[in-house]
Structure 1
Amino acid sequence: MSRELKTGIIAILIIIIFIWGFNFLNGQNIFQPSKRQFLVEYNNVGGLTEASSVFVNGLKVGGVDNIDFNPDPAKKGQMLVKFSLENGFIFTKKSIVKIYSPNPLSGSNLVLIPSYEGEEAKDGDYLQGEVEEGLFSAIGARLDPIQIKLERVLESADLSFKKFNNLLDKKTTTSIQNSFEEIEFAIIDLRTTIASVNSIVDSNSSNLKETLKNTNQITQNLSKVTDTLVNSNLGEIMRKAELTLTSVNSLLDGIQNGKGTAGKLMNDDALYTNLTEMSQELEELLRDMKLNPKRFVHFSLFGKKPSPYKPEVKKEEIKQ
């Protein structure tokens, strides 16, 4: 082989390897059998590129071939994505092709959510497209309401501060300063009072100690009394006292109702009447003995018989 032929063959091989490597880096393998191509329409491709891959359940099954604007005038502004898959994978037209980003630092890829119901998808068919919400988009969507509320809170706070500044005029400021001065004077007076109390306590510390000692002695005595009461069977004493009071109450009830000697003495009017009459008769007897002692007592040394008693006649009765 001539040198020129060898150079030409090497150049052709280099060109073939370059073309294959370029397509391989773009996710295409020109040495594999022909692939099926499908079309998907999106309003926003969300960072999808022609080097992006197509996955099914985490397995790479194809790649993106082309991304361009939709040529249909009725769908002006929409994006048309063309991707290819290996021939061995079968699914239907109801399958969904979703744009997703596995993490914020990597690019977007396509994930095919296959459906096995309905008509089988063929080369050149349009599939339904969706865009999965990314991490930053989800965070932004959740932060938007918080941002709105925060703005409202800041506006309210701003109005409150303005009103507060309007309240703090010169007169109000002066009043506040005077109030703080009065508080300071009150604190000084309180300190003086505390110092006086401390001096009083110091001067009477011996008396306080004696008082505490006496209090302790009283407490000990009370404790001894309590122990004595506990040890003296206080419950039995109380029970006996209760029985005694019950007996006394029964006795008083009997006396009040006229039962027994004491009851009759307390409640029998006839006895009172008899005692009254007896007292009057005794009083008359004593008066008679005092006025006429010879009638009741006679004394003679020679045994002379006493003369019969003659009641004395008063002068007033003789005159009459």
Structure 2
Amino acid sequence: MKLTKYTKLGLLIVFSFAIFIWGMNYLKGIDFFKQNTTYHVVYERVDGLLESSAVMMNGYQVGQVKSIDFSARNDGSLVVAFSLEGDFLIPRGSAARIVSSDIMGTKSIKLQIVPSNAYYQPGDTIPGSIEEDLKEQVSMQVLPLKNKAEQLLGSLDSAITVITYVFNAEARQNLAESFTRINQTILNLETASNEVSELLVSEKSNLQGIIRNMNELSASLNDNSDDFTNIVSNFSSISDSLAAADLAKLIGELHASAQGMNSILEKLDTGKGTAGKLINDEELYSNLADMSQSLDNLLKDLRNNPKRYVHFSAFDLGKNVYVSPERAQNKNADYTLKVHLISSPKRMSLENSIFEQFEQVEEVEISGVYSYLTGSTSDIDDIMKMHTKAKTVFPDASIVAFKNGRKVRLEKALKKLGN
């Protein structure tokens, strides 16, 4: 069958229109030769989303927007239909979010996939959301700065008001005077610094001597640190002894003793008791004084005229017999009195400085204890003088008695020697 030229022309026009329509849809991303799946999303606004805008998933374009129409609810919402290439199914719970795809504000749909075992069917309406545009984001970022700037401006305004109020003519004059005084103070400090420098230069040798003396003192203290340690230890021992002592009991006893002494003094003062009467009776004192004088006179007369009072005679041969004191002394000559100075578990040298005040010091060792004695006399007066002298060096010194080199009781020896 032979086609006419008009038929060919018509077929060419139809083919051209088909190619044109396919090309236009292809440029829009619609390929009639590929399988597409369509879904719908309802938005309150689309913020510049256009037909043929890209549909992205994980940064990869998987479809495009097919159409944007108002919804049948007549509430101003928009229904966006987009198609996905191939037979890709969207899991339930996923959402289509309108986002900015570049800095120029071009909008696209970003699929936010949530893994699920259930899927939306082609033609279903899936949830949608809108990303805040650049203007809103900038506004949200700038809003805190705007608020702080407003607060800062308010604070600056208040500060300027205060400064304006404070820095009036009188305040400025006071500040000028203050700065003048500060400058004067600085000049005075500079003058004082110069004087101190001159003083240091002139007294340099004295300062060096002071520092040298301080160093010597420090060295001396360092050398005697052991002595200071011993002193501190002794004080610590004394403190421990005081802490361990029953001070309350001791104070109570002292208080009781003081009360007893006060009672005794009160009785003596009032003339109660024998001692009180002895102290307060003037007549008794006079009698005792007279008796003492009489005894003194008697002793003097006895010493001067012994024949008047003592007369011994075995036979009346006209001779006087006297008692010789030497024979009585020889009778008890085997008793000896000595002064005990000190005892020590360790042997001490007789050349020790503590014995230098005594002419003769002897050492006696008994059961491992060394005793040191001085003096050797039968005269009680002499031993008492030695004992008084010894107590100045040895407060615990005592008198001891010996008979034929063996120690005896002091009372017995004094009784014998007293006879």
TM-score by length of 2: 0.48
2:222 is equivalent to residue 223 of structure 1: yes
2:215 is equivalent to residue 213 of structure 1: no
Structure 2 residue runs without a partner (length 5+): 258-273, 279-284, 308-317, 321-419
- Among 271, 294, 306, which residue is 1:284 paired with? 294
Mapping 1:136-151, distance limit 5 Å: 137-151=136-150
Q: Verify the 8 A CA contact 2:37 2:88 in the aligned structure 1.
A: no
Distance (whole Å) between structure 2 residues aligned to residue 102 and residue 227 of structure 1: 88
Cα–Cα, structure 1 residues 297 and 114, in superposed 2: closer, same or farther, change >3 Å?
Answer: closer
2:67 alignment counterpart: 66
Distance (whole Å) between structure 1 residues aligned to residue 117 and residue 65 of structure 2: 25
| SS at 1:89 equivalent | coil
Deviation of 1:37 after TM superposition, in Å, equals 3.7
Deviation of 1:197 after TM superposition, in Å, equals 1.9
Mapping 1:250-289, distance limit 5 Å: 283-288=293-298
Distance (whole Å) between structure 1 residues aligned to residue 75 and residue 215 of structure 2: 102
- Among 23, 26, 29, which residue is 1:24 paired with? 26
* Deviation digits for residues 37-59 of structure 1 (CA, Å, limit 9, x no counterpart): 44434333234233322235655
1:297 alignment counterpart: 304
Q: Verify the 8 A CA contact 2:40 2:125 in the aligned structure 1.
A: yes
Q: Verify the 8 A CA contact 2:37 2:87 in the aligned structure 1.
A: no
Q: Is the strand fraction higher in 1 or 2?
A: 2
| SS at 2:304 equivalent | coil
Counterpart amino acid of residue 211 in structure 1: I
Q: Verify the 8 A CA contact 1:40 1:128 in the aligned structure 2.
A: yes
Q: Verify the 8 A CA contact 1:100 1:131 in the aligned structure 2.
A: yes
Cα–Cα, structure 1 residues 218 and 36, in superposed 2: closer, same or farther, change >3 Å?
Answer: closer
Structure 1 residue runs without a partner (length 5+): 258-268, 307-320
Deviation of 1:103 after TM superposition, in Å, equals 5.8
2:187 alignment counterpart: 188
1:98 alignment counterpart: 97
1:310 alignment counterpart: none
Cα–Cα, structure 1 residues 84 and 282, in superposed 2: closer, same or farther, change >3 Å?
Answer: same
Structure 1 residue ranges, 4+ long, deviating more than 6 angstroms after superposition: 8-18, 114-119, 236-240, 276-280
Q: Verify the 8 A CA contact 1:42 1:80 in the aligned structure 2.
A: yes
Deviation of 1:10 after TM superposition, in Å, equals 11
Cα–Cα, structure 1 residues 28 and 279, in superposed 2: closer, same or farther, change >3 Å?
Answer: farther
Cα–Cα, structure 1 residues 299 and 146, in superposed 2: closer, same or farther, change >3 Å?
Answer: closer
Distance (whole Å) between structure 2 residues aligned to residue 169 and residue 234 of structure 1: 68
1:317 alignment counterpart: none
Distance (whole Å) between structure 1 residues aligned to residue 168 and residue 65 of structure 2: 70
2:49 is equivalent to residue 42 of structure 1: no
Distance (whole Å) between structure 2 residues aligned to residue 83 and residue 61 of structure 1: 10
Counterpart amino acid of residue 284 in structure 1: S
Deviation of 1:182 after TM superposition, in Å, equals 0.8
Deviation of 1:170 after TM superposition, in Å, equals 1.8
1:170 alignment counterpart: 169
Distance (whole Å) between structure 1 residues aligned to residue 73 and residue 233 of structure 2: 110
Q: Verify the 8 A CA contact 1:20 1:29 in the aligned structure 2.
A: yes
1:54 alignment counterpart: 55
Distance (whole Å) between structure 2 residues aligned to residue 23 and residue 279 of structure 1: 161
Counting aligned pairs with the same residue, the percent is 24
Counterpart amino acid of residue 203 in structure 2: N
Q: Verify the 8 A CA contact 1:50 1:67 in the aligned structure 2.
A: yes
In the comparison of the two structures, how many residue pairs are matched? 265
2:106 alignment counterpart: 107
Distance (whole Å) between structure 2 residues aligned to residue 176 and residue 234 of structure 1: 60
| SS at 1:74 equivalent | coil
Q: Is the helix fraction higher in 1 or 2?
A: 1
Distance (whole Å) between structure 2 residues aligned to residue 219 and residue 280 of structure 1: 72
Counterpart amino acid of residue 43 in structure 1: E
Distance (whole Å) between structure 2 residues aligned to residue 233 and residue 80 of structure 1: 103
Counterpart amino acid of residue 75 in structure 1: D
TM-score by length of 1: 0.61
Q: Verify the 8 A CA contact 2:65 2:83 in the aligned structure 1.
A: yes
